[in-house]
Chains A and B, each alone.
Chain A
Amino acid sequence: MGAGLHNVIIGSGSAGFGAAMTLRASDPNCRITMITMDSLPFYHRYDLPQVFRGKQDWRDLLDVPPSHYDEMGIKLRRNSCVVDVDGAKQLITLAHQENVAYDRLLVCAGGRSYVPENLTGYAGLMHGFGSFEAAMRVYRDLPKGGTAIMIGGDMIGIDLALTLLEMGYKVALITTPQTFWPHEVSADEQSHLLRALEAKGMKVYEHSRPVGVARNARRKAATCVTLEDGTEVKGNVVMSFCGLASSVEFMLGADVDIERGILVNPELRTSNDTIWAAGDVCQIWHDREKAYKFYHGWQNVRVMGELAARNMSGTHEIFDVDVENRIGVDKQGEISSTFWIH
């Protein structure tokens, strides 16, 4: 292993991990380097609410043991931030000023948590939940029986909220247009879902948008959200769950087309012949709709990563597996979502 072409994968989530394994399966001799800002090897982000169920050792969350990367001949570079991709020179620059050359590049950088524009100034005060460390910080700062304030409430957030309620915490949900993202729900459906959440003990604020976030003088993080109508929602931690915004800033010099995400054809190839993209970071051309579309959800993302890897190895497969995503409430009042099927 390691004597062939150098395949670099930016990102180590579902798409990146699946791509790395697929690349290795298709080419035992190529070099594979995964570059990620994460501190840990791959784990499923959807498992993060498990920290409230006692899984506080990150090793329990890993998909494969760390030694698996060595066994597969995959170099995993963590805590490494890509600041620039030179598509012409096929050169990646990392924040610590190391240059990494590639033959083929797959971008699976995913997205960062989106914060509504009027609240971006408060982002530093809010807790995140996008990594194990962030999840553990929430766990650490949320006292037993304490209240988590959730702005938005995308499907990752709702999953966490249900776990918190089950474990004896309180949750205050302040709705935004991104509530239940990436599901697209009608007003009636939303109301039905919110009632189901209230029935489980969640406090829902749905008629006034959040306009401010404040922290207690003794705390570093936010504990209060002010709504437009003057209502103050108080708790112990404040989190924004308003979907994802694609991480594409480092690709601006890569000679690829970018809209909200990196634009790729159905083979997941960008406008640069040596660069592919997969997962939440890319928008895929949909021929019937004549538009570039995001395909969220871990199942789509994983399929994309593996497909892109096969195409990097020479095939020409087309992404046409758009999993139909559904959300609903059953007779027992339990909410179900295809995004939660792991």
Chain B
Amino acid sequence: MMARTGTDIQIAICGSAGDGTIASGDIMKRAAALMGFNVIAFDVYPPEIRGFGKCISRIRISSTQAYSLKHESDILVSLNDAHAIPHVGEVRDFGAVLYDDHLVSSVPEGGHISAHIKPAQIPYGFSIRQISELATNSARSRNIVILGYMAGLFNLPREPFREIIRDKFAKKAQSVIDDNIKAFDAGVHEGQAVFKLDDVEVKRESGDDSNGSEAVMMTGNGAVVRGFMEAGIQSYFGYPITPATSIMERLAVEMPPQGGKFLQTEDEISAIAAAVGAGYTGSRAATATSGPGLALMAEMLGLGVMAEVPLVVVVSQRGGPSTGLPTKTEQSDLNLAVFGGSGDAQRIVLAPTNVEGCYRCAGMAFEIAETYQVPVILLIDLYLSNRYETVFPAEGNAFSPKPRKPLKPAKGKPYKRFELTESSVSPRALPGDAGLMHTVTGLEHNELGRPNDAIHMDMSIKRHEKLKPAVHFPGLTVSKRFGDEGPVRVGILGWGSSFGEILETMYQAQAEGIRCSAMKVVMLSPLPMESLKAFYDDCDEVLVPELNYEGQFAGLVSGALGRPVTRLNRATGTPMVVREILEEVRRLAEGEPSPLRSGNARGARS
């Protein structure tokens, strides 16, 4: 059992679009990272581009490794009561609620957040607006005042905040930086004067969790970009779509100075077509999209499989189908990623479970794609794309491309681009390689690449067989088991962003005396059958929680293994909830049949 000692708090800052909610959350998490804490953070914002929709920034700060956001927050900060009131119930007993106790206009009964604070929660009302106005002659720095207040109340070091504020506003006028520092200091002064009644503690107690390298705060999308850049990405073609857009935006800034080719295409079909073309020429090429974009890309993805072209496609899932829930998370594109497209088009699908995993999978994706001459899909979701975590980047040039050994033409033999070899991987020449001219087509083809449908069975076997060794790709974690070893009562099988909640659940279940293991599966195609079978053999019951209605991963693994699983499906647009998984684990541990609930297919046994 992992004992969580020292600091482990979660702050939720809630406001309206335009209140600076996300900005204050950003400063808080970066300052916390600078203080040496582990940070996990996730922002929720409205689907409207502009307007007054609700924004929430949730930040978990811990002195030991945390794996997910907590269901309950320790501190709720309200920058807009109408938006924050529904979240008061998420604050734990003896946690703190911070709010403005001087409104500018009158509200009816219940319109102020203080009306909703429960007796066991601690109210901290203060004049956020007035403090901002006194410090800066403007109410615009309310979001910075609350940071100062928290720093004062919880006795946090001030300088990391000031450093991040200076950095965040570095491109603005000096007066903007000065005003924000003044607002922060005014908040500190106010917070220090308050007698602390909550039991929220912030102190660094544990040792260094790092691997020796310096911790960096980044989002899942940011981690993908960093991994791509360290892997020497050469070509990127993309079309914007939430929640993948920030990958494109960042690469647009970072690639050109490094000599990379970046192009925003007219749509997703063009984007992947260009990426296939670039990959064909030997360029490290990628595109990024979401579920609707992947649906459009399916045909060209099939070309990549058929033509055995290495490329990387990042898919950040959101609620679907169709336009669906653009700013809400879901894990419902698994089937599309693994099976989508015409024909038997097996590809490699990697689904990292945390931000560090995004970085490492992105860093290795090109190498994997080139090794097996196949498109690699990096399947993440909005919760992972936008989630901040502290990451310890690889040391040195771990993902740099290895020097390519030029292929030499064999004398007297024609070059067979799709030669059937023992490994099923064919020698790959690039266009322009002397003496290695060849044909590449989307039609079924023979070893030379010439259209030929008589060899379809052999080529189908080749395209599938060549991928099997990918589960042993050096340095890549395709699956990993946590918790109790040997036979266990309940095993929790998970993938993607929800694995953090699964891991937290497993530790809680262990603390309750339940023999429990959890296994993350990073490689969804091909599946790591050996480790999956071993896991199943050890588990009396296997629970598969995932963020979709159908239980797509549960269906994938139970179909592959021919073994039953208990599904826990959640399609609410919000991340998985530890409490809900734990309830199911307890039920399974007790031997109770998991009820089949209508509407969300919870408890369905496949």
Residues of A within 8 A of B (CB): 39-41, 58-59, 65-70, 75-80, 93-101, 132-133, 136-137
Contact = CB atoms under 8 A, between A and B. Distances in A.
Interface in B163-202: 195, 197
A42 to B, nearest CB: 10
A78 B197 contact: no
B107 A79 contact: no
Contact of A99 (B101, B106, B122): B106
A59 B198 CA distance: 10
A95 to B, nearest CB: 7
A96 B114 contact: yes
B123 A98 contact: no
Q: Which of A79, A98, A137 has the most CB of B within 10 A?
A: A98
Contact of A66 (B103, B108, B120): B120
B118 interface: yes
B427 interface: no
A136 B195 CA distance: 8
Given A79-B125, A80-B114, A95-B102, 8 more contacts: A66-B118, A70-B119, A79-B101, A79-B114, A95-B101, A96-B125, A98-B115, A132-B197
Nearest to B109: A100
A46 B98 CA distance: 29
Given A70-B118, A79-B101, A95-B101, A133 B195 contact: yes
Given A77-B114, A79-B114, A95-B102, A101 B109 contact: yes
B598 interface: no
Per DSSP, chain A at the interface is mixed
B122 A39 contact: yes
A70 B117 CA distance: 11
B168 to A, nearest CB: 30
Q: Which of B106, B115, B118, B122 has the most CB of A within 10 A?
A: B115
B112 interface: yes
A8 to B, nearest CB: 10
Contacts of A69: 119
Contacts of A39: 122-123, 197
Contacts of B93: 66
Contact of B117 (A58, A67, A78, A137): A78
Q: 6 closest A-B pairs (Cβ-Cβ)? A: A66-B119, A66-B120, A133-B195, A98-B112, A97-B106, A79-B123
Contacts of A70: 118-119
A99 B109 contact: yes
A9 to B, nearest CB: 14
Interface of B: 93-94, 100-109, 111-112, 114-115, 117-120, 122-125, 195, 197
30 contacts: A39-B197, A59-B94, A65-B120, A66-B120, A67-B119, A67-B120, A68-B119, A69-B119, A77-B115, A78-B114, A78-B117, A79-B114, A79-B123, A80-B114, A94-B112, A95-B101, A95-B102, A96-B102, A97-B102, A97-B105, A97-B106, A97-B107, A97-B112, A98-B109, A98-B115, A99-B107, A99-B108, A132-B197, A133-B195, A137-B195
A54 B112 CA distance: 36
Nearest to A100: B109
B346 to A, nearest CB: 56
Contacts of B112: 94, 96-98
Contacts of B111: 98
A101 B110 CA distance: 11
Contacts of A59: 94
Nearest to A64: B119
A75 B112 CA distance: 14
A136 B194 CA distance: 12
Given A70-B118, A78-B114, A79-B101, A58 B197 contact: yes
Given A39-B197, A101-B109, A133-B195, A96 B103 contact: yes
A33 B229 CA distance: 60
A305 B124 CA distance: 28
A78 B119 CA distance: 8
B560 to A, nearest CB: 48
A94 B120 CA distance: 22
B481 to A, nearest CB: 40
Contacts of A96: 100-103, 112, 114, 125
B117 to A, nearest CB: 7
Contacts of B104: 97
Contacts of B107: 97-99
B261 to A, nearest CB: 57
Contact of B115 (A66, A75, A101): A75
Contacts of A80: 114
Nearest to B108: A99
B327 to A, nearest CB: 31
Q: Which of B93, B101, B107, B122 has the most CB of A within 10 A?
A: B101
Contacts of B100: 96
A96 to B, nearest CB: 5
A79 B102 CA distance: 12
A280 B264 CA distance: 74
A122 to B, nearest CB: 19
A58 B198 CA distance: 10
A70 B89 CA distance: 13
A78 B123 CA distance: 7
Contacts of A100: 109
A292 B117 CA distance: 38
A90 to B, nearest CB: 12
A70 B119 CA distance: 8
Contacts of A41: 119
B179 to A, nearest CB: 25
A300 B107 CA distance: 37
Nearest to A65: B120
A310 to B, nearest CB: 24
Contacts of A58: 197
A272 to B, nearest CB: 20
Q: Which of A66, A76, A96, A137 has the most CB of B within 10 A?
A: A96
A124 to B, nearest CB: 13
A98 B125 contact: no
B106 A98 contact: yes
Contacts of A78: 114, 117, 119, 123
Contacts of B102: 95-97
Nearest to B122: A39
A57 to B, nearest CB: 8
Contacts of B94: 59
A149 B115 CA distance: 39
Nearest to A67: B120
A266 B103 CA distance: 39
Contacts of B108: 98-99
Contacts of A133: 195, 197
A41 B94 CA distance: 12
B297 to A, nearest CB: 53
A168 B105 CA distance: 52
Contacts of B124: 79
Contacts of B118: 66, 70
Nearest to A8: B109
A199 to B, nearest CB: 35
A125 B74 CA distance: 34
Nearest to B101: A96
Contacts of A79: 101, 114, 123-125
B603 to A, nearest CB: 31
A36 to B, nearest CB: 11
A219 B104 CA distance: 35
Nearest to A96: B101
